[in-house]
Structure 1
């Protein structure tokens, strides 16, 4: 009976070793697939961030050029409004000027 038990134990150890080797092989294969997918995804995200940065730079340049183009005309309009003062008495103003008759 001890021969049978030692043979059974040997087969169990061998099966365990084979299963461990299979698990390790499967794990390495899945990790390799994961790294490949991750690099594909991260690569596309890197491209997206580059595109977004380029678009942002273009928009900033457009706004800056528009600012410089319109700044002079707006300053002229603003200064004209400041310089073109038409003094007049407000409707609610009540004169407190009392004429003294001599």
Structure 2
């Protein structure tokens, strides 16, 4: 009977050691999973920051080219305004002379359809 109880005792101890090993393995597995999650989060954050930086560079380049385009359009508009102002100044005297000549130089004539009544 003593050998049976000793065998049962050894079996219980082996079962306890197996349980302990399983618990340790579960703990290691959970620790590795947590570690892997943390590493993945760090890697994802780095990737996100890199993509965000690339986006900001492209955005700055696009907005910079838009501001250059706006500056060019502004310069062209100012140049066109200067041309129109110069053209106005060159032609204003001659136009005013023609208008005043037409209005002031009245040549009275009898109209073609006029019939004198006596």
Coarse TM-score class (shorter-chain normalised) = 0.7 to 0.9
Bigger helix share? 2
Q: Does 1:83 align with 2:85?
A: no
- In the TM superposition, residue 30 of structure 1 has moved relative to its aligned partner by 0.6
Q: CA RMSD in A?
A: 2.1
Unaligned runs of 5+ in 2: 1-21
| Per-residue CA distance 1:15-56 (angstroms, 9 max, x = gap) | 100110000110111111111112222222222112111111
Q: Which whole-Å CA distance do the structure 2 matches of 1:90 and 1:38 have between them? A: 76
Q: 1:38 aligns with which of 59, 66, 70?
A: 59
Aligned positions, number? 96
Q: For residues 2 and 76 of structure 1, do their structure 2 counterparts lie closer, same or farther at Cα, with a shift above 3 Å needed?
A: same
Task: Tell me, in whole angstroms, the C-alpha distance in 2 between the residues paired with 1:74 and 1:84.
Answer: 15
Gaps (5+ residues) in structure 1?
A: none
TM-score, normalising length from structure 1? Answer: 0.79
Measured in 2, the distance between the counterparts of 1:48 and 1:90 equals 62
Which of structures 1 and 2 has the bigger CA Rg?
2
